[in-house]
Amino acid sequence: MDLKDYYRLLLRNLPIVIVTTLIGTLIAGLYSFLATPVYEAKIQLFVSTPSSALDISALAQGSSFSQQRVKSYAQVINGPETLTPVIQELRLNMTAAELAKSVSASAPLDTVLINVTVSETDPYLAVSIANAIGRQFSLTANTLESTDPTMGGSIKVTMVKSAVLPTAPASPKKGINLILGFILGFGLGTGLSILRQIFDNTVKNEEQLGDVPLLAAIAFDNDAIDNPLVTSAGRYAARTEAFRQLRTNLQFIRGDNPPKVLAITSAMPGEGKTTSAINLAIMFAQAGKDTLLIEADLRRPRVVQYLGGEGLKEVGLTQLLNGELDIEKTKDLEKSMGKSEIENLTVMTTGKIPPNPSELLNSPRFARLVELLREQYEYIIFDCPPLLPVSDAAIISTKTDGTILIVRAGSTRIAQFKGSYDAIASVGSTVLGAVLNMIPLTRDGGDYGYRYGYSYGYKRKYGAYGSYGYGGYSPLKKKRGKAGYAPEGYAPRPETQE
């Protein structure tokens, strides 16, 4: 990955990066403002050898002696020999071991200086302890160096810098903590983005479709949640133009023998197959083609919810297949179909939900029905159930000229797409191509594919695709849950069985 790829990766996962950065900064801010402030008081000690113990010739040796001593003094200055008298002098309510945790010392290289730091929550107490240590350590050092208490010491410790009252706490350092929290949060978000990219196995672009042609790329449209049909989107809306492109590609996919009977399906529920089937049928009807839309999902039919209208019948495909209506009689066929509000578009609804949909669709009556309808309409569109939960769509595809797979960008897994393709190929049917549906609009990458004098805003790479909800477009301005499908046990609702 180059810098441009990382830039796109961050844009695709911008919500994650923003959230983790804010959390990191917030945690650092809370710690900085809630932590108890600690003040530091500092003193500096000078270690020398008394002149009485030296002569001119031994001056160099004395200086070296002092430098060697300060290294050891820095290690023992917070010992009980120094701190116990300090505790007694200041009448502190703590032990030498407890006070030692607040005292630290260091000896700069090649010097005879000792820097002592006392950290306390009370600045006045820190100053008192630091100055008391400076006074006391001169006695402690001479005690450690002298073998005879009656003789003078060979080391002199002088406090050259006494402690002054600190005006600001030494910790927490709010500015630094906030910067560190920001950096750590941003780094965490970037790491999660990379992991998400590594483990992402969903279809997002044309390359991941393999050898299956991309017939159309349909961008996600917020308006489609309440108005899923292209009749509500406007003549020149991006979604309308995308379905026009799908119609055109289907008309010229086989120049000498274009497909007329089409099955529309998807790998899993919630990928937009029903709205795609309806909108494609509308496109053919608006082009002046006599079009029939068949609601072939005999388990969870939804066409009526989207189209509405008083012209749609309560009897339909089920009654033709179970023998209640005679498919050979024109009058019975007309009973099963209704005119929609869209010119040139006829709709055959499911009718009653049968207990045995697969058997009805695999019957000779269904094959004969398709044969009869093929002679009456220029285009027939089947809205089929998803392929992986049930076999209905694969059965229907054997009676059509080809199948179109609807793939929800960033939601359909690559394995699911391949499984749906194999389900069609295994019964000897043809997959005409795929429609990449609900492509999220993001700021990264170039246009996804198509331009008609202006940009549609389709993106080849995108992010945040999980934010649109599992159910996809909602019919009749109602919120949907999981699209009403259950992949395990895809069967009619018990209350609708007869």
Cα distances (Å, whole numbers) of residue 236 to 61, 250, 288, 454: 95, 20, 18, 11
Q: Which residues contact 8 (CB under 8 A, 6 or more apart)?
A: 444, 445, 461
**How do beta strands 156-161 and 214-219 pair?**
unpaired
Tokens of 192: 């999660």
Give the pLDDT of residue 147: 53
152 has pLDDT over 90: no
51 has pLDDT over 80: no
Give the pLDDT of residue 309: 59
Across 220-242, average pLDDT: 82
119 has pLDDT over 90: yes
- Partner residues linked to 338 by β-bridges: 347
Give the pLDDT of residue 238: 85
Cα–Cα–Cα angle for 104, 125, 163, nearest 5°?
A: 60
Mean predicted lDDT score pLDDT of the chain = 82
DSSP code per residue over 31-75: HHHHSPPBEEEEEEEEEE--GGG--GGGHHHHHHHHHHHHHHHHH
Contact 114, 73 (CB under 8 A): yes
Q: What residues does each domain of the chain span?
A: 3-35+173-198, 39-161, 207-480+489-496
Confirm whether 39-161 and 207-480+489-496 share one CATH topology.
no
Separation between Cα atoms, residue 121 and residue 117, nearest integer Å: 13
Per-residue DSSP letter, 341: S
Q: Which residues contact 284 (CB under 8 A, 6 or more apart)?
A: 247, 291, 344, 378, 379, 381
Rg (CA), the chain: 41
Tokens of 159: 């406090």
Lowest mean pLDDT segment, chosen from 26-40, 167-181, 270-284, 460-474: 460-474
Higher pLDDT, 169 or 223: 169
Topology of the domain covering 207-480+489-496: Rossmann fold (3.40.50)
What is the reported pTM? 0.65
Contact 217, 458 (CB under 8 A): yes
Q: Per residue in 303-337, pLDDT tens? A: 888 887 555 667 889 999 998 999 888 888 888 88
Contact 110, 35 (CB under 8 A): no
Tokens of 102: 């607040």
What burial letters (b/e) apply to 267-299, b meaning 16+ CB within 10 Å? bbbbbbbbbbbbbbbbbbbbeebebbbbbbbbb
Separation between Cα atoms, residue 441 and residue 461, nearest integer Å: 9
Q: Which residues contact 258 (CB under 8 A, 6 or more apart)?
A: 250, 251, 252
99 has pLDDT over 90: yes
Closest listed residue to residue 96, CA positions, set 110, 114, 78: 78
Topology of the domain covering 39-161: Alpha-Beta Plaits (3.30.70)
Q: Per residue in 159-196, pLDDT tens? A: 999 999 998 999 898 899 999 999 999 999 999 988 88
Give the pLDDT of residue 446: 38
Give the pLDDT of residue 310: 58
267 has pLDDT over 50: yes
